[in-house]
Amino acid sequence: MPASTRHHRALAVFVHCLGILAAVPALPATAPEASAAPRPPAETARPPDATPRPPGGATRPSATPTGVATATPAETTHPPVAMAARMSAEPTPPSAPPAVAPPSRAPASAPPQQVTVAVAPESSPAPRYRIQVRNVGNAPVDTTVRQELPPGSSPTAISAGGRSARAGGSTTEVTWRLRLPAHSSTTLGTALAATAPGQPLTAPACAFTSDGTRPYDCATATWKAAVAAPAAEVTEAPPWRRYPVLLAGLAVLLLISAALVWVWRRRRAGRVTASALASRSGPDGGRGTIYPRPAAPSATRRRRTPPVWLLVGAAVAVLAGVVGTAGWTATRQVSAIDTQKQPTSGAWMGTGVTGPVGVPLRESAFEFTVYRMSCGALGTAGKADGRSCQATVGVRNLTGDHQPWHGQLQRAYLPGGRWVSTDEPATRAANLGRDVFADPMAAGSRMVLPLVFSVDGRDPPQQLELRSGVFSAGVRVHMP
């Protein structure tokens, strides 16, 4: 074979081998088990024996009994690695769907309270309150206690260390800064001067952290004036002194009188006719004579009817009685309507309840109590013309099961009918990063937490609407 031909053939074989090597990585793996097989371990140097060998190349007999295979170092080291490599290389079969539905979210439990508050009214002619603040923890606590006074009232006496300040609008609050040792309690007191003596007054109080942002606990109490002599109960007038009953009786009396007059007139007319017929009979007994008499015209008998004035009077009396009775009934029904209640119908659950700050209001599942509302300066809500308003709200689950609730259902109503929902990021930040709406509330549990609303303008919210569910009638709290 010429040399040039041999060179061409060698070059062709070399190029063909390069093409095969380049195409091998693109081919699919046909045998994953083969690819996953472990490579033989490299030959490693065996460490020298610690015991000297006997002279002459003789080996020491092994202590292992005959018939039992012993593993060499290579066998005891590499098979687990190879098995792990094979297990990792084998495809994992898809997991079967769960036979049981995943469990629901666990109900949220309120964090343990380190400071508790209790408020009680005193039996006195003027409004007086007694506030007990207790530290149940094992370490001293710095706390700020605030008491929201009713609108229109002013403090006349405050226990040592308390200061009163205008909280906005017509409300005043009293503030104490305390340091409570571990397992200690202190009692605070206030006396108020009310603009309307004898009217019940509600004054809630809350204990906050030292910076006054996060509440520990809140409580409320309503002072009522001492019970005086019972006033005379207002009773309804007897039936014979009610105007509708009098009108109806008068109408019935007129009808009976008209009927008696009509019957009397008919009987009188009958007697006159009978006497006239009796006078016509002559000495002959009413028999005729030989000579015929001229025919005398006989009086025609007309059907007696009641007079017109009697019918018109009776109709007027009956109409007056009906109109009077209808008007009296409608007036009683309209006066019984409570205009303060929220109308509920259809899919709403429960009845809407409206009340002031500090009064517990119950709806279908929760009991809400708004203890305080404070708004920051303009620009605190991330906008130049907006600000954040924080409401301190107590929520109690009155049902026997855990209940979820949602931040979008809690609303603050502004002047003009506009409303905003809870600012959930700001509310989470006010609760130290805890999402209070993420988990349902446990049965019978109670939480006191801040809810933050981002509003526009200078006007604070006029009303808060709180509800546990979409179809719950909810409660409405009027802001002072």
The per-residue pLDDT for range 235-251, each reduced to its tens digit, is 566 666 676 777 777 77
pTM of the model: 0.55
Quickly state the pLDDT bin for 37 (edges 50, 70, 90).
very low
Any idea what DSSP says for residue 458? S
Residue type, 34: A
Are 453 and 419 in contact, with CB atoms under 8 Å apart? no
Any idea what DSSP says for residue 164? E
Residue 266 main-chain phi, psi, to 5 deg:
-65, -45
Euclidean distance between CA atoms 21 and 13, whole angstroms: 12
Please give the pLDDT value at position 54.
43
Are 63 and 71 in contact, with CB atoms under 8 Å apart? no
Quickly state the pLDDT bin for 297 (edges 50, 70, 90).
low
Are 365 and 372 in contact, with CB atoms under 8 Å apart? no
Provide the CB-side half-sphere exposure for 153 (13 A, CA): 28
Euclidean distance between CA atoms 204 and 147, whole angstroms: 6
Query: Is the confidence at residue 316, as pLDDT, over 60?
Result: yes
Query: How confident is the model over 94-150, as pLDDT tens digits?
Result: 444 444 444 445 555 556 678 999 999 998 888 999 999 999 989 999 999 999 998
Euclidean distance between CA atoms 363 and 473, whole angstroms: 7
Provide the CB-side half-sphere exposure for 160 (13 A, CA): 2
In sequence order, which residues have a C-beta less than 8 Å from that of residue 132 and are 6 or more positions away? 117, 118, 119, 120, 185, 186, 187, 188
Helix (H) / strand (E) containing 172: strand 171-180
Please give the pLDDT value at position 78.
44
Quickly state the pLDDT bin for 57 (edges 50, 70, 90).
very low
Euclidean distance between CA atoms 206 and 208, whole angstroms: 6
Please give the pLDDT value at position 99.
42
Domains of the chain: 115-223 (2.60.40.1510), 241-259+307-339 (no CATH), 353-478 (2.60.40.1240)
Nearest to 38 by CA among 90, 84, 7: 84
The alpha carbon torsion through 385, 388, 389, 393 (nearest 10 deg) reads 160
Q: Hey, is 417 helix, strand or coil?
A: coil
Q: Is 285 left (phi over 0), alpha (psi -120 to 50) or beta?
A: left
Nearest to 413 by CA among 364, 342, 351: 342
Euclidean distance between CA atoms 171 and 154, whole angstroms: 9
Burial bucket for residue 84 (CB in 10 Å: 0-12, 13-18, 19+): exposed
325-339, 428-442, 462-476: which range is least confident on average? 325-339
Please give the pLDDT value at position 446.
93
Between helix 308-335 and helix 243-280 the angle, nearest 10°, is 160
Euclidean distance between CA atoms 107 and 471, whole angstroms: 21
Query: Is the confidence at residue 261, as pLDDT, over 70?
Result: yes
Query: How confident is the model over 150-172, as pLDDT tens digits?
Result: 888 889 999 888 898 887 666 78
Any idea what DSSP says for residue 408? G
